[in-house]
Chains A and B, each alone.
Chain A
Amino acid sequence: MDERAIIERAKAGDPQAQSILVNRYSKRVYNLALRILRNREEAEDVLQETFLTVINKLDTFDGRSSFFTWVYRIATNAALMVLRKKKIRRANFRDNDLDPEQIQLTNTVDWSQDPTASIENKEIKQRIDEALNTLKEKYRTVFVLRDIEGLSTRETAEILDITEENVKIRLLRARQALRNYLSEYFDERVAG
């Protein structure tokens, strides 16, 4: 059935239509929350909050954005709310005031072709997890939406309610921070 028709039925209070929408997006919302929060219990909370909001505010969905974008915006906001409530003071991991117009080409080993640069390498896998865990929320959220979820710059901007330019800046910083963290591993190996 056409999604627009399902949404109209769901708006009218049809529980089966609402159920179809929940089924259609719940896995994606859960994984999005998991990627941002990196905690299963919190991801479940976000999943529930998201769909409570979706069902309760369905009448405000006007179709200007896609339904998927609308749901993702609600889910992202719910996840960011959890992070803010926790008020975790994350380490200022590589998050200096780097001006993206003046990217620093720090000297680094070219490890891009290194056969050990693989997630089969436990140390690399651990480094990636550490890096993502400590990356500041505003950078991690953009990185997750753009590079992991594969959304466009425009969709990401719409979901986060920021400009496309801001998405690019945050994405650049996130990628650089992650890359620098991995580079350290290879630099240390060469030095050692």
Chain B
Amino acid sequence: MKKKLNAEEHLKLLQEHLCDDLDNAACEELLDVLRTSKECRVYFDTIKKTVVLCRENDCPEDLPEDINQRLFERLGLADAKKKPNTSQDSQKEV
């Protein structure tokens, strides 16, 4: 028979889940918690939604050419940058 978790254990479980550190057994416990505790479910859902919104709000920018130019000049690499084989190494997407 499953041990009934107290409120503090519920929260600990939520915290671990939100850090993506739950194993499978703990995941099942969490699902039980979310089914039975409305407060925990609201907490969990609104935290998740907050992270989603923050991610959607984040728009990575391309490095502006003038900033890139100044960077290479500051590093003393402006000549190396002009050589054709360096441009083949494109940047990974953020």
Contacts and interface: CB of A to CB of B under 8 A. Distances in A.
Name which of B14, B39, B75 has the most chain A CB atoms within 10 A of its CB.
B75
A27 B62 contact: yes
B46 A22 contact: no
Interface stretch (A69-77, A87-95, A123-131): A123-131
Interface string B71-94: 110111101110101110111101
A124 B53 contact: yes
B77 A19 contact: yes
A147 B51 contact: yes
What are the nearest 4 A-B pairs in CB distance?
A112-B45, A15-B80, A19-B80, A179-B50
B16 to A, nearest CB: 8
A112 B79 contact: no
A114 to B, nearest CB: 9
Given A31-B60, A183-B46, A18 B75 contact: yes
Interface residues of B, number: 52
Interface residues of A, number: 56
B58 A35 contact: yes
Contacts of B76: 15
A155 to B, nearest CB: 13
Nearest to A29: B63
A101 B45 CA distance: 19
A61 interface: no
Interface string A107-128: 1101111000111000011001
Contact of A47 (B40, B46, B71, B90): B71
A105 B57 contact: no
A7 interface: no
Contacts of B53: 117-119, 124, 128, 182
Given A16-B83, A18-B80, A175 B56 contact: no
Nearest to A56: B75
Nearest to B86: A19
